[in-house]
Structures are given as C-alpha cells and as structure tokens.
Amino acid sequence: MIRNIILIVSLALFLSSCKSNCSNKSGQDDVVAYLNKRPIRINEVDSLINDQIYELRLNAIKPIISKLVLEDEANKQKLTLEQLIKIEINSKIKEITQNDIDKYIIENSLIKCDTNSIVKYLEAIERQKRKFAFTDSLLNNHSLKVKMQPPNYRTINTDGLYYHDITNNKSNVNIYIISDYRCPACQYIHKDITSLFTKYNNSVNFRFVYYSDYIDKSAIACEAAANQNKFNQMYNLIFNYSDYLTNSAIYYDFADSISLDIDKFCTDMNDPHMYNNIMRNKEILIKQNIFATPTFIVNGKVLDGKYASHYLEDVILNELSE
C-alpha cells in the first residue's frame, strides 16, 4: 500500500512539473523578440497589424465579388466568362492614341522606349477601368452585404454637434448619421438607413448631421422646415426625390406639400444666419478627422468607409446588448 501511495505522489509531482514546463514553454512561444530582456509578445504585434489585415481582407473581397458578378452575368447571357469579357470589356476599351503615348513618355521622362510595350500597358489600364465600371453597373442588380467589421473603432467626442432628431427616445444608444443630401453614396443607402429608423425607432436615437464642402439649398430648406418642426418631412422628400433637386423651385413645392408657412419658409431660406450651425458642424468634424460622407458615429465609435452601412445594424445590436 505504501508503495502505491509513493507511486501516486510521484505521478502527481511529475504531472505538476510537466504542466509547469508546458505552461512556460507556451509563454516562451508567444515571445517574438526581446529588448533588454523585456519580451515582446505576438499579441502586441497582432494588435498593431489587425487594421492592416482588415484592409487586406477587404481588398481581397473585391476581386471575388467581381468574378462572381461577371460569372452570373455570363450565365444570364448564355456566354462563357471569356466571351463576356471579350464582348463587354476588351472590345469596349478606349483606343490608345499617339497623344496618349506621348503623354506617357513625357510624364515618365522616358528617353528610349518601346512604343508597343507602352500601348500594351495603357491598354491593360483601360481594360481594368472598363472592368471596374462594368462590374459596378452589374452590382446595382445584386444585393451585397459585407459583414466583416474593423477590429478596432476610433472614437470621437460628439459634444457640440448640431443635429436633427430622426427618432427620439430615452435610449442610451445614440447614432449620428453624418450625411450630405447631394452625396450619391448617401442617396444610395437612404432606403436601407430608413428601414433601420423604422426597425429601431423605439430603442435607438438616430440623429442627422449635415456635412458638406458646399452648403446648398437642400440643407437650408431642411433648416427652414426644422424652424416649423417639420425637418423629417423635408429630409425625406429631398432624399426620395433627389433627381429633381437641380430645379431650385422644387424646395418651395416640397414646402407647400408638407403645409409649411410659405412666407416664413421663404424668409428663412434667405436668412444668412441659417448657415451658422452647419458651419460649426464642419469645423468640429474636420478637427476630429471626419472628412467623408456617409459616416456613422455609434456612441462615439466611428464607422466609415465604403461598407460602413453594411455592418451598421450589427454594431447597433452590439450596443443594445451591452
């Protein structure tokens, strides 16, 4: 019996020693460098390159999407992919002229050059441009949703921002929609954003913040409507009828359709003080490195870039669950 006890104790000590050694070995494996005996671990390195990995993944998605869209179109036209590319891309590139060749030679300070090589290079660029344009046109007929989120979000202070409530409740989740009425990307996502307003009307505060290099009549019309407590109505009309905004009289038609006091609306449209709050917004956002629309700020987290609207709802749900 004593012998059995000794064996059990010995085995326990062995396992304990093994566990300790394995743990130390695992810790040593995490170390990728030493500076004056101070270890630098792999998680420190990864934390710095996560954003770069995210960008690389985003860039890798694009050719995959392009290929799938082209294959789908080829199937619709009952063509092979090679036939579609030949018909829609290769045969429709801009012809390279002598002026194009001369310009390339001058811009690159070339003395001795092979004209044929230059032509092939310029044609390759034109093919790529045509491919991007053709694929983008096809994407309008597809539903694309990129769910991949950045590993980290930078945060900004939203104090002092001038905004209009789209929804208003006692929620702790505040979402600022940084947008421009005349921005094509903002117009493109308006329908999806509006569906979020409806879906989360009772649980999220959506706030509209106008931001543009040039303050046009759309912004002033919304400010004038806000003076009569009808910002949301004017906001929706402008986004829903964006194709008609080239006619400046349309804003007065909008005002009439939502029963605004037209005399007051006209006075406000011509009031220079209407610009003050909008200009303050621009200063605040530029100081915090916000330069593009649409951008979303969810409880201080900045969501920007081409696919920000795609994962906006996921971020909303994360905030609601906290």
What is the predicted pLDDT for the residue at 5? Answer: 37
pLDDT digits (tens, 9 = 90+) for 66-75: 999 999 999 9
In contact, 92 and 130? CB cutoff 8 Å: yes
Inform me whether the pLDDT recorded for 169 exceeds 90: no
What is the predicted pLDDT for the residue at 77? Answer: 95
What is the predicted pLDDT for the residue at 59? Answer: 86
In contact, 146 and 61? CB cutoff 8 Å: yes
What is the predicted pLDDT for the residue at 146? Answer: 87
Give the ranges where the chain is alpha helix by DSSP (H): 2-30, 42-76, 81-88, 98-107, 115-139, 184-199, 217-226, 231-240, 250-257, 262-269, 276-287, 312-321
Q: Which one has a higher pLDDT value, 128 or 25? A: 128
Inform me whether the pLDDT recorded for 16 exceeds 70: no
Inform me whether the pLDDT recorded for 20 exceeds 50: no
Domain boundary assignment for the chain: 45-139, 164-321
The average pLDDT across 89-94 equals: 93
Task: Collapse the DSSP code of 171 into the 3-class scheme (helix H, G, I; strand E, B; otherwise coil) and give the result.
Answer: coil
What is the predicted pLDDT for the residue at 28? Answer: 54
CA 310 to CA 193: how far, in whole Å?
10
β-strands 205-210, 174-179: how paired?
A: parallel
Peptide bond into 39 cis (omega under 30): no
How far, rounded to the nearest angstrom, does the alpha carbon of residue 90 sit from its chain's CA centroid?
A: 31
Superfamily of the domain at 164-321? Glutaredoxin (3.40.30.10)
Q: Which one has a higher pLDDT value, 16 or 259? A: 259
Counting residues of the chain whose pLDDT is more than 70, the rounded percentage is: 91
What is the predicted pLDDT for the residue at 140? Answer: 83
Instruction: Count Cα neighbours of 321 within 13 Å in the Cβ-side half-sphere.
Output: 6
The helix (run of H) or strand (run of E) holding residue 40 is strand 38-41
CA 312 to CA 175: how far, in whole Å?
10
Kindly list the distances between the CA atom of residue 194 and the CA atoms of 74, 239, 264, in Å, as whole numbers in the listed order: 34, 10, 29
